[in-house]
Amino acid sequence: MCPATAASSGYDAVVVVSFGGPEAPEDVLPFLRNVTRGRDVPARRLEEVAEHYLARDGRSPINEQNRRLVGALRAALASGGLDLPVYWGNRNWHPLLADTVAAMRADGVRRALAFVTSAFGSYSGCRQYREDIAAAVAGCPGAPEIHKLRLFYNHPGFIKPMAEGVRTALGRLADAGANGPARLVFSAHSIPVTMATGAPYERQLREAAGLIAGRVPQGGRPGDAGGWDVAYQSRSGPPQVPWLEPDVVDHLRSLHEDGVGDVALIPLGFVSDHMEVIHDLDDEAAGAARAMGMHLVRTPTVGTHPAFVEMIVALIRERLDPRTARGALGASGAWPDLCASTCCPPGQ
């Protein structure tokens, strides 16, 4: 039998679906109101977060990073012989997903695959994107069918470039005079505890962290890893609502008290160096480490690493031809294409 093609599978486009971010000072507060709609976040907190963006001319790096990813994906699909146009739509800022779906309809797209830039399963990281896609389609008569690609938290195209970045960071620590093995601290976006209940989020984060840690040198020398932890960042909810802990800065302080002097900080929950990585890790966490005299190196996100882009192509090929091998590392196997209807409830 001949391999399935995009045309024979019935899919005629791909859409990259992401979070979005402001690109000018006047965008910042409207963007943040979109992000926090219905979540009872105090106005004062929005103003505090707005300052993070305004200090950088009101521009988040995420949109430009997504433009680069879309460009890299278009090139990889073309070089792989897949004739699929690539669109891009965001949850919270332009280009908004609803506008993108309308453009796809106008272009005659009938059936598309969606790559969501979130590796892990939670309400905000998976189910809400599926709801966003469904709402955009429902609000556009004649819109194409859009099917979300599976979660990729344990895919080799995600794990291996992350591990590559950790090995490079450990080498930098050794070159900077590290005295021994460095602690690996994996950071991901915190979510409410009630949202984490019923979601695979924490389990998947720990599984991915273990897979990455298992691909870097372990031992007692500089340039080695000396154990690992998962911490959380970017909490935004009301203070009375429990969110996943420990906070990454608090965790660094605890490690310092335990005598840890060298840390590789790994933004596991993010695929690009956008504002939450820059502010929460490069500014706040790195600043706290400096104040304590701790040597800290932050590892890169996967961004447009060729292995990551090829992973997206591999995920697309899986859906074009069900006979295609499904890449996954570890014991859990590949995540299914369709999540259970009870998976990842929004919590309270």
pLDDT digits (tens, 9 = 90+) for 97-149: 999 999 999 999 999 999 999 999 999 999 999 999 999 999 999 999 999 99
What was the pLDDT predicted at 40? Answer: 75
Q: Is the pLDDT reported for residue 2 higher than 50?
A: no
| Pick from 10-24, 40-54, 72-86, 265-279: least confident | 40-54
- Tell me, what amino acid is at 62? I
Q: pLDDT above 70 covers what percent of the chain?
A: 97
Q: Is the pLDDT reported for residue 348 higher than 70?
A: no
Q: Is the pLDDT reported for residue 5 higher than 70?
A: no
Cα 271 from Cα 302, distance rounded (Å)? 5
Confidence of residue 4 (pLDDT cuts 50, 70, 90): low
CATH number (3.40.50.1400, 3.40.50.970, 3.90.470.10, 3.40.50.720) of 6-152+305-320 reads 3.40.50.1400
Largest CA distance in the chain: 63
Rg (CA), the chain: 20
Q: Where in the chain is the domain with CATH 3.40.50.1400?
A: 6-152+305-320, 156-298
Confidence of residue 8 (pLDDT cuts 50, 70, 90): low
Q: pLDDT above 90 covers what percent of the chain?
A: 87
Confidence of residue 1 (pLDDT cuts 50, 70, 90): very low
Mean pLDDT confidence for 56-72:
97
* Domain 156-298: assigned CATH number: 3.40.50.1400
What mean pLDDT is reported for the chain? 94
Burial group, residue 186, by CB count within 10 angstroms (0-12, 13-18, 19+):
buried
pLDDT digits (tens, 9 = 90+) for 162-203: 999 999 999 999 998 888 899 999 999 999 999 999 999 999
- Going along the chain, which residue ranges are E strands? 13-18, 86-90, 111-116, 145-148, 182-189, 225-233, 262-266, 295-298
Q: Is the pLDDT reported for residue 3 higher than 60?
A: no
Cα 130 from Cα 332, distance rounded (Å)? 23
What was the pLDDT predicted at 227? Answer: 95
